[in-house]
Amino acid sequence: MRYQKPVFNVALRMLRNRQDAMDVAQTTFLKAFEHLGDFDPAFRFYSWLYRIAINESLNALALRKPRAELDGNAADETPGPDRAAEGDQALRAIEDALMHISPELRAVVVLRHIAQQSYQDMAQALDLPEKTVKSRLHSARERLREHLLRCGAI
Amino acid sequence: MTEEERIALIHAELDGELDGGQRADLARLLLAEPQTRVLRDQLQALGSRLDAAGQVEPPPQLKDSILKRLPQVPAQTQATYPKASLSRWRLAALIAGLVTAGSIVYETVQGPGPGSRDTAGTMVAEAPVTVDSVALDSGPVTGRASLYRDRAGLAVGLELSAAEPVDVLISSGGHSFQINGLASPSPGGIMHRTVPLPGVGGQGQEVELEFHIGERTVGRASLHAPPGP
């Protein structure tokens, strides 16, 4: 299960909810298996997996909207034992900031910084030109920086 | 230099994409413009924190929950994410097939007990016939990949040499196995592995091999299984 941790982390940072991230990670592996015959060897296997994970995360976010309207918020807001071990204030600030940008911008940040993908791999995973990926990443970072500044986190 | 160009330089530094000239340009800017230095420091701090945010260990039950649900794999696997939670669990179970199949093969070829060639001998054939073979003579992985057939079916034989551990993805007819961490017994030595392919090749089939070192795909090979018994 060498891909388990990176795929889970991608989903977790997209969704900020461990249970949803676990569901998405499972669905990702399933779909990868289901469609292994369609895998294009021109892709890196990681990029292909991340593509599935990002798409599944976006689907989960789309489903979350109505639920969030009812529940107030579908993300993990209360620190449990896992979250306490997971990080400190800085990490919470980053998590908050990530949830304040659009899922499309978040996907670029997550692929670059969480999955450590190159621009080329990100372009493959998102099916976008590299130039667009770069531009989105710059915009996303700028918005994250502004959010962290407003919160006094940097 | 425009504001946009300044910002692009800072992002390029964050991505490790600056060449020598650009690095010098940025250094000059940082010395001359305190506000650019502040922006750069903030973005660097942001980048470091983001990089650190991707190291959360998945719940231990993630792997187990996939494996546990393997026997429940439904016939229809096209269920989509929006369906009920149970469907997602079932869907997830199917991927466990890949994991478990890979694990079985891995345990077969890597695990304790008889050596893989011994095991392969009992599982594949007493006198296997080579039906296809391809030399790997370029790239970081060299050696030979062969396809054998006997009464038990087909098997892939690998004789590889590589400076680093190699992962091999074997795909055929929609099935796939991955063997991780094949390593030469000594520098320049040859590693031998035999991987049975149950259910492959009766009608004639292509067997695709993909070699990975770390995350890099370092080679591919294709073997053809002619129609057989």
Q: Same domain for B103 and B130?
A: no
Q: What is the pLDDT of residues B198-225, one digit of tens each?
A: 666 566 778 889 988 888 888 889 888 8
Q: In this predicted model, what pLDDT tens digit does every residue of A45-96 receive, in sequence order?
A: 999 999 999 999 999 999 886 555 454 445 554 444 455 444 578 889 999 9
Distance between B140 CA and the closest CA of chain A, angstroms: 17
Is the ipTM higher than 0.90? The answer is no
Q: Are residues B123 and B178 in the same domain?
A: yes
Q: Where are the domains of chain A?
A: 4-150
If one counts the domains in chain B, the total is: 3
Q: Which domain holds residue B74?
A: 59-112
Residues B163 and B227 in one domain: yes
Do A115 and B54 make contact, defined as CB atoms within 8 angstroms?
A: yes
> Where do we find the tokens 């259910």?
B199
- Say what the pLDDT of residue B107 is: 38
**Residues of B with CB below 8 A from A67's CB?**
none
Read off the amino acid at residue B2: T
Residues B133 and B225 in one domain: yes
B124 with B196, same domain: the answer is yes
Q: A54: closest CA among A22, A76, A94, A24? A: A24
What is the distance between the alpha carbons of residues A119 and A117, in angstroms, rounded to a whole number?
7
Residue B82 shares a structural domain with residue B29: no
Same domain, B96 and B198: no
Q: Are residues B183 and B224 in the same domain?
A: yes
In terms of domains, do B167 and B209 share one? yes
Question: What's the CA gap between B3 and B9, in Å, rounded?
Answer: 10
Residues in CB range of B153: below 8 A, 6 or more apart: B124, B196, B197, B198, B199, B200, B201, B202
pTM: 0.57
On whether both B124 and B89 belong to a single domain, the answer is no
**Lowest-confidence pick of A1-10, A130-139, B46-55, B81-90:** B81-90
Of the candidates B46, B54, B65, the beta carbon closest to that of A141 is on B46
Class of domain A4-150: mainly alpha
Contact B208 A41 (CB under 8 A): yes
| In contact, B51 and B41? CB cutoff 8 Å | no
